[in-house]
A and B are shown apart, each in its own frame.
Chain A
Amino acid sequence: MGYVAIADRDHEVEHHDPQTFISKYVWSQDHKVIAIQYGCTAIFVGVIALVLSAMMRLQLGFPDTFSFINPENYYQIVTMHGMIMVIYLLTALFLGGFGNYLIPLMVGSRDMVFPYLNMLSYWVYLVSVIILLISFFVPGGSTGAGWTLYPPQAIAQGTPGVDWGILLMLASLGVFIVAFTMGGLNYVTTVLQARCRGMTLMRMPLSVWGIFIATILGLLAFPALLVSAIMMLFDKTLATSFFMPAISSMGVDPGHTGGSPILFQHLFWFFGHPEVYIVALPAFGIVSDLLSTHARKNIFGYRMMVWAIIAIGGLSFIVWAHHMYVSGMNPYFGFFFATTTLIIAVPTALKVYNWVLTLWEGNIHLRVPMLFAIGFVFTFIHGGLTGLFLGNVTIDLPLSDTYFVVAHFHMVMGVSPVLVVFGAIYHWWPKITGRMYNETLGKWHFWMTFLGTYSIYLPMHYLGFQGVPRRYFAMGNTDFMPASAQDLNAFITMAALFVAVTQVLFFLNVIISLRSGKKADPNPWDATTLEWQTPDTPPKHGNWGHDLPECHRWAYDYSVPGYKDDFIPQNVPASDEAPADRQHGVEEH
């Protein structure tokens, strides 16, 4: 099989530039426009989820104060908040948003391999979002089953939204999975088939590696969610008994017999745990690139980083039952999953060491993206350590379903990825829009978000130790909780409202930059990766002008000794790199 990169068969790929406004910005097949569409939609639903979290906090911090929150809609709010944040914000933003924008640019391709499918992916995603939002307005409201949708209560009478809400939720998830699969096929195929000349797999930036492996995880794990959604739909609409045991709820006997709720839990978490890494791996990759670029140092242990991503991806399929320690499983089973959970900590810790070592003696520029990246290292270590607690059966049993768990997963998969999202937006903003943002405003945004979220979640660990249960509308008469727990809850709520409000700084920055931001340099951070070497900023349709780039080196040639600049872009040939006497310098580092 001869080597004919798609790149070289340019004439076969049609590139007629879209002319009208509609084909350019609405029904666009350009990966950059689709990325922005994905990003804006995801952030839009993310803001809704943020408002929902503020409502929960109002209730928890000041119970009996707000008449618009009652036990029923509290459950609906919890559910929608969790589901939107995990699936419709983070998954869509990292893969549909950053995946779309970065993959073709970073591997030196003109677009995704299947632009039409890519466009379809976005519009189908939008449909799933619309179905989700409609569920707020149907009779009975959205589902209140918790984001884990455990049966029997998810489809049993008495749960909010049991008539329409749950149906729309399951339908929306199904549609989302279709959209994700269309996108995912594109990302995988583009990485495998459309890299430019010289871009070997081991020269790809870690961002691409993270997104690539996360996409594979998603493609293999989302079917588990699809299967459980379909089977639950059957149970709900056709009265089958896949998951539903014989129950009579609120005097009604829906006619189920003998189903197994535990079966659902297995399927759900077979998806659910890899989902954590579907969100985390792109974040890992992006953070690596941000740290390396802004510390002017090559990433420490590149190959190790790649293998750690792959190892984490593989291992993430055999830890799912650590979410089910309290489901009454065989102790040996629990022991097995505790072991695998602790094993996955090894490659993860490796990555953390490598990030820290990348910073070691680096020439650190504390610009906004760098602040967010370093912030991520803190919150991620923090969330990772509490994960080690919860991974052990004996420690998890008392802590399960308390605020300790809420604190843990918000640190590790709430705050951490969101910090990366912001860091990445600030980092690539000049390329995406062609304008600079206000650095000071960005720094304020970072510090308030970082310190604010810490003040939300640090106290929650303590509440968890005291036994404050998760998913409770109100605590009622509980003896084991001291009255001070309520003061802490009030404080957390103040912090949460503060964080929510400070996000205005971000949107302000965006608006100001778009209207009157300084025109951006094509490569303001002196970065090596290909997306910064495009002939136009922002890149035009087709990305590279007439000639495709060629890749001659890895993405981390920062501060190469003896070279005049402190970075060498990936498309600079080895021979141009420096005067003749430089040759041995290359071997040294």
Chain B
Amino acid sequence: MEIGLIVLATMLAALLGWLLRQSFNTQPWVAGAAAEADHQAPFNARPKLVALTTFLAVATSFFALILSAYSLRMELGDWVPMTEPSILWTNTVVLILASVVFQWTRNHAVNGNVARIKPGLLLTGALTTAFLAGQWLAWQELNASGQYITVNPSNAFFFLLTGVHGLHILGGMYVWGRATVRTFGGQEMDAVKHSVELCTIYWHFLLLVWLVLFGLMLST
């Protein structure tokens, strides 16, 4: 459980630090004009960014807890390290590329370079789909060689981790799909720009998660 604890403690500490800044040295019982209190108000009216950050905290907690379970289960006697299918390396490169292209698209979107958004979105979509397909192939390969989910707990964790990671990506693809449809539907660029920004953060996050998962599975 240490992994879960450490990750959670870090997130809580960040929250605590922020709250401290908000509330230290205030005297709530002193009345004052609304405007005087404004300097304390941290809002910059980007609710979607706040919601995404909060969601990333939830997802972090989720993955950290599975990893805690992984590390606890690993110590039991019947654990046999699994040989990861080599296609995972290709998949990793594809996912890194998807992240890079998304960042590129985002930078153009933020700079108002509208023409680059469409090809950028399509390319990330294609790369991400390729990643998912690659993961699927990895599953097939394992099953074909008799490395079923039940063979060993390390196999079970492999299927579990790749599965939930893939589901998170699918969720991201839904938002990506909406942004893409909007872009091609010729909607207002501001809204699209914002979704592209948020998607990029999410993609980087899932890349990071994947690198951690992959690294852990390789090393154990």
A interface residues, Cβ below 8 angstroms from B: 1-6, 9, 113-114, 181, 184-186, 188-189, 192-203, 216, 219-221, 223-224, 226-227, 230-231, 234, 238-242, 255, 257-260, 263, 266-267, 270, 298, 302-303, 306, 310, 314, 317-318, 550-554, 556-557, 568, 573-575, 577, 586-587, 589
**Contacting chain A: which of B32-40, B98-106, B126-134, B203-211?**
B32-40
Q: Which residues of the other chain, B, contact A556 by a CB distance below 8 angstroms?
A: 29
Q: Which residues of the other chain, B, contact A234 by a CB distance below 8 angstroms?
A: 149, 156, 160
B125 at the interface (CB under 8 A from A): no
Whole-angstrom distance between the alpha carbons of A306 and B160 in the complex? 40
Q: Which residues of the other chain, A, contact B69 by a CB distance below 8 angstroms?
A: 227, 231, 242, 263, 267
Q: Which of A184, A223, A266 contacts B62 (CB 8 A)?
A: A223
- What sequence of 0s and 1s flags, for each residue 1-40 of chain B, a beta carbon within 8 Å of any chain A beta carbon? 1001100110110011001001100101111111111111
**Contacting chain A: which of B72-80, B112-120, B172-180, B193-201?**
B72-80
CB distance B160 to A197 under 8 Å?
Answer: no
Whole-angstrom distance between the alpha carbons of A40 and B125 in the complex? 43
**Contacting chain A: which of B43-51, B85-93, B135-143, B212-220?**
B43-51
CB distance B19 to A310 under 8 Å?
Answer: yes
CB distance A242 to B156 under 8 Å?
Answer: yes
CB distance A318 to B160 under 8 Å?
Answer: no
Q: Which residues of the other chain, A, contact B78 by a CB distance below 8 angstroms?
A: 241, 257-258
Q: 5 tightest CB-CB pairs across the interface, nearest first? A: A198-B34, A258-B78, A553-B31, A223-B62, A550-B34
Whole-angstrom distance between the alpha carbons of A390 and B32 in the complex? 47
Chain B interface residue count, CB cutoff 8 Å, equals 57
Q: A189-B47, A238-B150 are in contact. Are A551 and B37 (CB under 8 A)?
A: yes
CB proximity of B14 to chain A, nearest CB, Å: 12
Q: A200-B26, A259-B153 are in contact. Are A2 and B44 (CB under 8 A)?
A: yes
Q: Which of B8, B30, B68 contacts A220 (CB 8 A)?
A: B8
26 A-B residue pairs with Cβ-Cβ distance under 8 Å, sorted by A, are A5-B43, A113-B47, A181-B58, A188-B51, A189-B50, A192-B43, A192-B50, A197-B41, A198-B34, A200-B41, A201-B23, A220-B11, A224-B4, A239-B150, A240-B150, A241-B150, A242-B73, A255-B150, A258-B153, A259-B153, A260-B73, A263-B72, A263-B73, A314-B12, A552-B31, A553-B31
B164 at the interface (CB under 8 A from A): yes
Whole-angstrom distance between the alpha carbons of A189 and B54 in the complex? 8
Whole-angstrom distance between the alpha carbons of A298 and B28 in the complex? 11
Q: Which residues of the other chain, B, contact A201 by a CB distance below 8 angstroms?
A: 19, 22-23, 40
Q: A200-B22, A202-B26, A223-B62 are in contact. Are A552 and B33 (CB under 8 A)?
A: yes
CB distance A574 to B31 under 8 Å?
Answer: yes
Q: Which residues of the other chain, B, contact A575 by a CB distance below 8 angstroms?
A: 33
CB distance B61 to A220 under 8 Å?
Answer: yes
CB distance B29 to A298 under 8 Å?
Answer: yes
CB proximity of B169 to chain A, nearest CB, Å: 17
CB proximity of B154 to chain A, nearest CB, Å: 11
B57 at the interface (CB under 8 A from A): yes
B interface residues, Cβ below 8 angstroms from A: 1, 4-5, 8-9, 11-12, 15-16, 19, 22-23, 26, 28-47, 50-51, 54-55, 57-59, 61-62, 65-66, 68-69, 72-73, 76-78, 149-150, 153, 156, 160, 164
Q: A5-B43, A193-B47, A202-B26 are in contact. Are A317 and B5 (CB under 8 A)?
A: yes
Q: Which chain A residue has the least Cβ–Cβ distance from B160? A: A234
CB distance A220 to B58 under 8 Å?
Answer: yes
CB distance B1 to A4 under 8 Å?
Answer: no
Q: Which chain A residue has the least Cβ–Cβ distance from B1? A: A266
CB proximity of B196 to chain A, nearest CB, Å: 19
Q: A257-B78, A270-B1 are in contact. Are A4 and B29 (CB under 8 A)?
A: no
Q: Which of B9, B26, B30, B41 contacts A3 (CB 8 A)?
A: B41
Whole-angstrom distance between the alpha carbons of A408 and B57 in the complex? 33
Q: Which residues of the other chain, B, contact A259 by a CB distance below 8 angstroms?
A: 73, 76, 153
CB distance A219 to B58 under 8 Å?
Answer: yes
Q: Which residues of the other chain, B, contact A188 by a CB distance below 8 angstroms?
A: 50-51, 54
CB proximity of A406 to chain B, nearest CB, Å: 27
Q: Which residues of the other chain, A, contact B59 by a CB distance below 8 angstroms?
A: 223
Whole-angstrom distance between the alpha carbons of A151 and B160 in the complex? 19
CB distance B35 to A198 under 8 Å?
Answer: yes
Whole-angstrom distance between the alpha carbons of A574 and B34 in the complex? 9
CB distance B23 to A303 under 8 Å?
Answer: yes
Most chain B CB atoms below 10 A, which of A227, A238, A552: A227
CB distance B72 to A260 under 8 Å?
Answer: yes
CB proximity of B27 to chain A, nearest CB, Å: 9
Q: Which of A193, A216, A226, A552 contacts B45 (CB 8 A)?
A: A193
CB distance A241 to B156 under 8 Å?
Answer: yes
Q: Which residues of the other chain, A, contact B16 by a CB distance below 8 angstroms?
A: 310, 314
Q: Which of B28, B33, B61, B65 contacts A303 (CB 8 A)?
A: B28
CB distance A231 to B160 under 8 Å?
Answer: yes
Q: A3-B41, A263-B72 are in contact. Are A240 and B156 (CB under 8 A)?
A: yes
CB distance A4 to B22 under 8 Å?
Answer: no
Q: Which residues of the other chain, B, contact A550 by a CB distance below 8 angstroms?
A: 34
CB distance A318 to B5 under 8 Å?
Answer: yes
Q: Which chain A residue has the least Cβ–Cβ distance from B42? A: A192
Q: Which residues of the other chain, B, contact A1 by a CB distance below 8 angstroms?
A: 44
Q: A5-B43, A258-B76, A258-B77 provided; 8 other pairs, C-beta below 8 A?
A: A4-B43, A189-B50, A202-B26, A238-B149, A238-B150, A303-B26, A310-B19, A556-B29
Whole-angstrom distance between the alpha carbons of A270 and B62 in the complex? 12
CB distance B43 to A195 under 8 Å?
Answer: yes
Q: Which residues of the other chain, B, contact A203 by a CB distance below 8 angstroms?
A: 28, 37
Whole-angstrom distance between the alpha carbons of A189 and B4 in the complex? 24
CB distance B31 to A577 under 8 Å?
Answer: yes
Q: Which of B8, B23, B50, B58 contacts A193 (CB 8 A)?
A: B50
Q: A5-B43, A258-B76 are in contact. Are A227 and B37 (CB under 8 A)?
A: no
Q: A227-B69, A303-B23, A317-B12 are in contact. Are A3 and B43 (CB under 8 A)?
A: yes
Whole-angstrom distance between the alpha carbons of A98 and B45 in the complex? 24
Whole-angstrom distance between the alpha carbons of A568 and B32 in the complex? 13
Q: Which chain B residue has the least Cβ–Cβ distance from A557? A: B31
Q: Which chain B residue has the least Cβ–Cβ distance from A571? A: B34
Q: Which residues of the other chain, A, contact B68 by a CB distance below 8 angstroms?
A: 266-267
Whole-angstrom distance between the alpha carbons of A1 and B69 in the complex? 41
